[in-house]
Chain A
Amino acid sequence: MSPWWLVPLGGLLALDETSVGQVQICRPLVVGALVGALLGAPGAGALVGGLLEFFALAVVPAGGARFPGLAPAAVTGASAAALAGEPAGGLALGVGLALLVAELDSHTVSAYRTWAGTLIPEGEPVPARRVGAAVARAVAVDFARGALVTAGGLAAAVPLARWAAPAWPLSFAETVALVVLGASVRLGALLHSFRDAPAWRWLFVTGAAAGAAVGWFA
């Protein structure tokens, strides 16, 4: 399948982040697995998606502040990894591009949110059908925004997967270890957000010990 078919998919998945439903099909874990499967590399897509999830887990979109976007970034990252045909370079490229696109995406969201304030007039009666039309327009523009960001990401990912990925100097295991290291700070921030639970320290330590033991002997 041509990766360019992913442009409208990126627009659709981006709608889930804010405008429509929020059923979380925009999460990197979901998008990574889906895009990987569509491009014939389910493992590569799912791994990038899973690792990007480490970066996204602690984010709470409180009150409309600017936060990194998810879906177009994950489409870009998973595509880069799937198209690279080289696990380590594809993974590094996918994660790097996704983090960049996530930041770019957040700026387009800010611009969209400024524009969306002008959809209906202020302080005068608004017929119901006009509200409905404004909602439809808002959804259409947000879809286009997500699709455009995805297209921009893919425009970088497609050539770089071919030309840059082979230049990556680390092994696959080293690359995973590096990305996990990069995500460690954000996983620590996630733990920070759990600390109002009773006995959270014990729960965390018990989990870590059990996870290490199972992982060691598995």
Chain B
Amino acid sequence: MVRVSASGRHPGPGLATVFLRCLLVQAGWSYRRLIGLGFGFSVAPLLRLRPDRDEAGVAAALARHTRPFNAHPYLAGLAVGAVGRLEAEGTPPERVERFKDAVRGALGGLGDQLVWAAWRPLTLLLALLATAAGAPPWAAVVGFLGVYNAGHFVLRAWALAVGWRRGAEVAAALRAADLPRWSRRLHGAGALVLGLLLGWIVAAALTGARTGVAALASGAPVPHEPGVGSAAWLGLFAAGLWIGYRRGRTILRPAAAVLLLVLLVLFLAGAL
């Protein structure tokens, strides 16, 4: 339940409710509204702080706040907090809508770059490297979930707090946080760890070593057969990396389709 503090500017324990609701901000993701439904659900408790404070007013505001909106889910709380603040201050609906239109691109783009394209692959690469190096799978998984979600929840809490505190003035806070710089740093770390992992894989293929999870899966804890990494394999592996590097994400589906075809042909060849 949201409570208004004496100053009328703080939602009290209600912000915790809003934080939990923001975990559902992508529930009902649709082409029609994008995260509109979840946004309305998340901001609803703050709408009770509107100057008119009646159910009809909240319902009318919810009709606006369930319209199409998009943001990275971890940063959506910034818009939720800011819109809650604007509504609580009695800001005209047209201005609130213009704020939402203007902020959603930044919240989507910055979040995609920082989280989906940087923090997540980096933490996963670290977990994969640990697994390749012999860490038990459960330890890699627990480590990944712990480290990844530490960053995840800090980002969510920061976003909601900044949005509520700054209202429409969030641009300065976002600029000061300089999320793109964090993304670039994490990309650098990602390049290093990806290099480590690929170097390890190539060495393991050439020596025939079965380390880490591969040994666990095959039941062979020590190297016992010649490496399968021939010059041809190495050449194809390097070519694959190069094609992927040149084409970027546009190549994702064709790459999987080719492997599927090869697997199918080999299964059929084995069966016949």
Contact = CB atoms under 8 A, between A and B. Distances in A.
Q: Do A and B come from one complex?
A: yes
Interface of A: 18-25, 27, 29-30, 32-34, 36-37, 42-47, 49-50, 53-55, 57-64, 68, 81, 87, 91-93, 95-96, 99-100, 102-103, 113-120, 123-128, 131-132, 134-135, 137-139, 142, 164, 167-174, 176-201, 203-216, 218
Contact of B229 (A139, A177, A206): A177
B128 interface: yes
Given A19-B28, A142-B27, 12 more contacts: A20-B26, A33-B140, A50-B132, A55-B256, A131-B44, A168-B270, A185-B244, A193-B187, A207-B195, A211-B197, A215-B204, A218-B211
Q: Which of B108, B132, B239, B266 has the most CB of A within 10 A?
A: B266
A126 B213 contact: no
Contacts of B252: 58-59, 68, 186, 189
A interface: dominant SS: helix
Contacts of A91: 217
B184 interface: yes
B162 interface: no
Nearest to A193: B117
A214 B213 CA distance: 17
B24 A139 contact: yes
Contacts of A47: 213-214, 216-217
A210 B184 contact: no
A167 B249 contact: no
Contacts of B206: 216
Contact of B41 (A43, A132, A188): A132
Contacts of B34: 64
B125 to A, nearest CB: 7
Question: What 3 A-B pairs come out closest when comparing CB atoms?
Answer: A188-B244, A207-B195, A211-B199
A184 B249 CA distance: 13
Contact of B191 (A93, A127, A183, A207): A207
Contact of B128 (A29, A34, A42): A29
Nearest to B242: A188
22 contacts: A24-B145, A30-B141, A50-B213, A57-B124, A58-B252, A63-B108, A92-B266, A114-B32, A127-B62, A135-B27, A135-B28, A135-B37, A169-B269, A177-B233, A189-B249, A203-B188, A206-B192, A207-B198, A210-B195, A212-B200, A214-B203, A215-B211
Nearest to A137: B28
Contacts of B56: 125
Nearest to B74: A22
B208 A128 contact: no
Interface of B: 23-24, 26-34, 37-38, 40-41, 44, 47, 55-56, 58-60, 62-63, 66, 70, 73-74, 108, 112, 116-117, 120-121, 124-125, 127-128, 131-133, 137-138, 140-141, 144-145, 148-149, 152, 183-211, 213-220, 225, 227-229, 233, 236-249, 251-256, 258-260, 262-264, 266-267, 269-271
B216 A42 contact: yes
B120 to A, nearest CB: 7
Nearest to B58: A128
A130 to B, nearest CB: 8
Nearest to B152: A23
A126 B59 contact: yes
Nearest to A109: B29
Contact of B240 (A87, A184, A212): A184
Given A117-B32, A215-B209, A30 B144 contact: yes
A21 B22 CA distance: 8
A118 to B, nearest CB: 8
A174 B236 CA distance: 14
Given A119-B28, A135-B27, A211 B196 contact: yes
B140 A128 contact: no
B243 A204 contact: no
A101 to B, nearest CB: 11
A181 B240 CA distance: 7
Given A99-B256, A128-B44, A185-B241, A120 B200 contact: no
